[in-house]
Chain A
């Protein structure tokens, strides 16, 4: 099995069969994390550099654990402790890291397009671990895996994505991935948070959360980015949560089999109420659990999946 592309910068880099292969491989790899000795020798001698210019708990740890469970050497660099603070440019940082011969560079950055820009200048494969408001492809893949495990299929499932769609890289990657897999996607949020062009992506828009939740299979809540409140996208947290916070009351017409997702970190009581977050429909921790398997699958497929071009 070979992926169509050597960099994972966007869901658009992946063919439909790539997504299937990544999810199948991830499912097979989950068993390793249940062992007492959680390690296989597959990527022994390979080096993975996590280059994070933005804070992260889940994604960075998940990539690190994924690499280590496959026996790769994993190095973490965060911007606050790197020479970026001395004014070193992004590209210089990338060139210098490449000079130390890593096998994969995992990049998170607050600006859209940084992983793409770096990938176009260096030979080492790049995985986008979230760039600005652009994309977060590994999050979408772990979300698809979590959905497929619960519903046994993806095609035809109805999903609503709720919150700040315009600024969410999670929403963008998920919309692209879900549409590829034949899912029916609706976005819900205040008009200020819904970007233009949703129709071109085959996505419908709804402004009333309670109505939008009727008959859906999956509800994906997004984090309200506290740092954006000053931009006037909504007047107050209280107003936002009275309309868009997922509560038992708003869920009363939803299906019994509905699953509730959130990419984290959660603002409890703002976008989702505490009882729902910890309730039986919530799969938030399954998402985190699956994140390790999906990242193991990507590292494995990029480095060892076989390559028809090589000798």
Chain B
């Protein structure tokens, strides 16, 4: 059974709220930069970038992170997708980084992303923004900005779809029957 938990309007409102929360917590846009984790974290980061531009009239820098090279399950027999490039064209030392991803689950992707960021410099802080927090953390990582908390069981799949990559805005919960 599949069910949609967020429709396009819900996603829009969640991103608007996250953008306001980011600005509130950081008291504006000074030293603020966005980094999206490939693939849908980048879309989330772009949406937040647009929203902040709308509110504050400032275009934040946006970096793209591919965390494949930092994964802890490489060589564990999984098929990896073809590696894509990391594109962070600005210095990150001293910046407040908003790290963006679509779904927060075990926290292992975020661990890899933080390790990757540290190879580029010493940011003032790294804050985490996610559209969905589905629980089941395996590492001591928590988000700073959340679109929606969705309690799930471990064998469920949460699929975030964005117009840019999937043709429509929607979040699906997929119950996989074992």
Contacts and interface: CB of A to CB of B under 8 A. Distances in A.
B85 A42 contact: no
Contact of A300 (B78, B81, B83, B116): B83
Contacts of B85: 27-31
B74 interface: yes
Contacts of B120: 35, 37
A311 interface: yes
Contact of A306 (B80, B87, B116): B80
B77 A310 contact: yes
B70 A41 contact: yes
Contacts of A307: 77
B79 interface: yes
A1 interface: yes
B115 interface: yes
Interface string B76-93: 011111111111000000
A24 interface: yes
Nearest to A24: B82
A29 B83 contact: yes
Contact of B70 (A28, A29, A42, A310): A42
A154 to B, nearest CB: 17
Q: Which of B78, B85, B87 has the most chain A CB within a 10 Å cutoff?
A: B85
A301 to B, nearest CB: 9
Contacts of A41: 69-70, 115
A37 B116 CA distance: 11
B66 A28 contact: yes
A2 interface: yes
A74 interface: no
A28 B69 CA distance: 11
Given A24-B82, A28-B83, A31-B86, A40 B119 contact: yes
A281 interface: no
B79 A308 contact: yes
A239 B144 CA distance: 74
Contacts of A2: 79
A303 B75 contact: yes
A29 B109 CA distance: 19
Contacts of B70: 40-42
B71 to A, nearest CB: 8
Interface in B95-134: 115-116, 119-121
B79 A306 contact: yes
A32 B120 CA distance: 10
A97 interface: no
